[in-house]
Amino acid sequence: MSFPARLVANASIGVFKPTFDNALSGQAFCHLELGTGGTYTPFSAITRSVETFEVVAAGIAVFRQMDVTGAVDVEPGTYDVRASCLRRNNAPYTAGLTQQGAELTVVAAAR
Q: Residue ranges of the domains in the chain?
A: 5-110
Could you write out the DSSP letters of every residue in 24-87?
SBEEEEEEEEEEETTEEEE-SS---EEEEEPP--TT--EEEEEEEEEEEEE-SS--EEEEEEEE
Tell me what pLDDT residue 25 has. Answer: 96
User: Domain 5-110 has what CATH class?
Assistant: mainly beta
Amino acid at 9: A
Which pLDDT belongs to residue 45? 65
Looking at residue 37, its pLDDT comes to 87
Average pLDDT, the chain: 94
What is d(CA 41, CA 32) in angstroms, rounded to the nearest whole number?
A: 9
22-56, pLDDT tens digit by residue? 999 999 999 999 999 889 999 876 678 999 999 99
Stretch 56-81: mean pLDDT, rounded?
95
